[in-house]
């Protein structure tokens, strides 16, 4: 199961770590235009994420409710990853429209894979300890995929593109996309939905949304997730700028590429350690208490 999250992460990590820098320094968009585009896409995500979960609950195939999404959208996900990191020969307005279109479709495709994938953990086994173990492995493997991305991406861009970083990013994402397809296919064929839902979904989507918004515990978790995700994305987007312009003074070199890769990778190493520790801690402490403590510590360190 863990390879599905690695497949999602290998592309999504490329987006969070490198896309902002790619858009401004390689593609040629202004920082303001990129910021507005990301905001618009995130608002769309807030709508499509719950809707995708509701629809996935109602999908019935011989492979289950959630597994088919992995194979349906594997190839579109990889193709859109390459297209998002492709620089077309358009004017300024055309390039902005192209960026909106490809990035929005990529994030939609990510939603169509990741939301059902996250639900898959609840239907592969009834055993709570097995679920906990699966989630721990999932985050660890995903973090290792993120580490691979952080270490290898800039080297691959230089290797394939030489002085042409536009082509370098395009070729690099071709490799990342191909790896993602293989991982998603492996996850699909190596898992099975063993736990059938107690009651098949019969209500309307509007009723599901009403019940969701009425759940105060869901609202609390949603707020925590929103702010932690926002902080994480801001940090990831700013890291490469910090390394490029403050640490290296904007000078490009082989040594600089190595330094930037190492600097970007430091946070991923922390994530791997945290993922491994989370499985051990979750067996010994209540989930709510662990969430409160870890969130407080993370907020203090981030500040």
Domains and CATH numbers, the chain: 2-194+208-302 (1.20.1250)
Q: Does position 177 have pLDDT exceeding 90, yes or no?
A: yes
Q: Does position 201 have pLDDT exceeding 60, yes or no?
A: no
| pLDDT on residue 199 | 53
Q: Does position 128 have pLDDT exceeding 90, yes or no?
A: no
Share of the chain above pLDDT 70, in %: 89
Residues sharing a CB contact under 8 Å with residue 209, sequence separation 6 or more, in sequence order: 50, 54
| pLDDT on residue 212 | 72
| pLDDT on residue 302 | 64
Q: What are phi and psi of 251, to 5 degrees?
A: -85, 125
Distance CA 195, CA 120 (A): 10
Mean pLDDT in residue range 146-168? 92
For the full predicted model, state whether its pTM sits above 0.85: no
Q: Does position 88 have pLDDT exceeding 90, yes or no?
A: yes
Q: Does position 160 have pLDDT exceeding 90, yes or no?
A: yes
pLDDT in tens, 45-60: 888 988 898 888 888 8
Q: Does position 131 have pLDDT exceeding 80, yes or no?
A: no
More confident residue, 207 or 171: 171
Instruction: Read off the pLDDT band of 253 (50, 70, 90).
Output: confident
Distance CA 86, CA 168 (A): 10
């Amino acid at each position: 199961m863990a390879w599905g999250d690695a497949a999602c992460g290998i592309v999504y990590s490329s987006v969070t770590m490198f896309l902002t820098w790619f858009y401004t320094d390689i593609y040629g968009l202004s920082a303001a235009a990129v910021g507005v585009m990301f905001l618009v896409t995130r608002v769309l995500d807030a709508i499509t994420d719950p809707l995708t979960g509701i629809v996935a609950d109602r999908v019935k195939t011989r492979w289950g409710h959630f597994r088919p999404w992995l194979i349906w959208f594997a190839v579109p996900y990889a193709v859109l990853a390459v297209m998002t990191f492709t620089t077309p020969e358009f004017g300024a307005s055309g390039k902005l429209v192209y960026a909106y279109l490809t990035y929005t479709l990529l994030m939609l495709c990510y939603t169509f894979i990741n939301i059902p994938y996250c639900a898959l953990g609840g239907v592969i086994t009834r055993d709570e300890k097995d679920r906990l173990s699966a989630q721990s492995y999932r985050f660890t493997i995903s973090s290792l995929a993120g580490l691979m991305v952080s270490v290898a991406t800039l080297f691959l861009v230089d290797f394939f593109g030489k002085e042409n970083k536009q082509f370098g990013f395009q070729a690099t994402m071709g490799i990342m996309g191909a790896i993602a397809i293989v991982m998603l296919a492996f996850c699909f064929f190596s898992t099975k939905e063993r736990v059938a839902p107690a009651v098949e979904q019969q209500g309307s989507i509007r009723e599901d949304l009403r019940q969701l918004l009425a759940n105060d515990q869901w609202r609390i978790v949603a707020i925590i997730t929103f702010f932690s995700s926002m902080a994480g994305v801001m940090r990831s987007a700013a890291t490469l700028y910090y390394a490029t312009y403050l640490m290296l003074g904007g000078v490009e070199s082989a040594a600089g590429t190595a330094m930037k890769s190492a600097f970007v990778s430091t946070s991923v190493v922390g994530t791997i350690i945290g993922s491994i520790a989370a499985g051990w801690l979750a067996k010994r402490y209540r989930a709510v208490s662990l969430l409160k403590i870890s969130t407080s510590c993370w907020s203090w360190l981030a500040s």
